[in-house]
Structure formats: C-alpha cells, structure tokens
C-alpha cells in the first residue's frame, strides 16, 4: 500500500527555534497539500503545490512559514522562528488533480514551548 510519509512524527522545541517538517508524497501524485490542525481552528490549509509549483499559500503566515518542493518526492514546511501558537498537528496530503481525492500522512505533532 502506497502511503504518504511524514517526519518527524513528534517534535518538541523551544520558542525561536527553526522547525522543518518533511513529507514524501505518494509516487506519481502531482498535488501536495499542507494542513494544520488545532482544536480551536480545525483543519486549515496552509499551502498546496501542483507539479511542484506553489499554487496557493494564502493560509500561511508568510513572515515565518515557508513551504517548498525541492523535488517530486519531497515537500518541506519550515517555521522560523517558531512560536508557541504554532503548536499543532501538521498534515501533508497528496493526490492527483484529476480525482481530487487526497491521501493524508500520519501528521507531525509540533509542540513549541
């Protein structure tokens, strides 16, 4: 079974530190999403890519967040500097634009102290 993988699964860091989360989409998928989940805000779309090109990152705080796809097998989400309000579960998902269906990774649980 092909799966989306995310690393790390858990991350605890201190305020001000840089955090990098990685995602390996399912091979052949041309769309990659980054979502953030919190109790208060629910699931928020941070950014998404199609064929490695960023299509929409309007949900992402630009001053501290950045998302990239260095190649088709890797998507990264970086927070610099991190703040306690960034504590959340970050999900990566991939899919094919033609079907719309997304396959979610297990998430990275980030805690910023």
List residues binding another protein (CB under 8 A): 4, 33, 35, 42-43, 45, 48, 55-56, 91, 93, 100-107
Nearest distance from residue 35's CB to another protein, in Å?
8
Number of H helices, E strands in the chain: 0, 11
CA 39 centroid distance within chain: 17
User: Between 107 and 112, whose beta carbon lies closer to another protein?
Assistant: 107
Nearest distance from residue 16's CB to another protein, in Å?
28
Task: Return left, alpha or beta for 28; rule: phi > 0 is left, psi -120 to 50 is alpha, else beta.
Answer: left
Cα dihedral 51, 80, 4, 52, rounded to 10, equals 10
User: Between 7 and 80, whose beta carbon lies closer to another protein?
Assistant: 7
Nearest distance from residue 64's CB to another protein, in Å?
22
User: Between 17 and 99, whose beta carbon lies closer to another protein?
Assistant: 99
User: Between 58 and 62, whose beta carbon lies closer to another protein?
Assistant: 58
Nearest distance from residue 42's CB to another protein, in Å?
5
Strand order in the sheet with 5-7: 5-7, 19-24, 74-79, 65-71
């Amino acid at each position: 079974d092909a799966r989306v993988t995310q690393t790390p699964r858990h991350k605890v860091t201190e305020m001000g530190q840089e955090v990098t989360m990685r995602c390996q989409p399912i091979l052949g998928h041309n769309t990659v999403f980054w979502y953030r989940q919190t109790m208060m805000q629910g699931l928020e779309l941070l950014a998404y890519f199609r064929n490695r090109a960023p299509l929409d990152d309007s949900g992402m705080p630009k001053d501290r967040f950045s998302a990239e796809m260095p190649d088709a097998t890797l998507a990264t989400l970086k927070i610099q500097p991190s703040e306690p309000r960034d504590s959340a579960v970050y999900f990566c998902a991939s899919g094919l634009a033609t079907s719309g269906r997304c396959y979610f990774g297990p998430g990275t649980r980030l805690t910023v102290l």
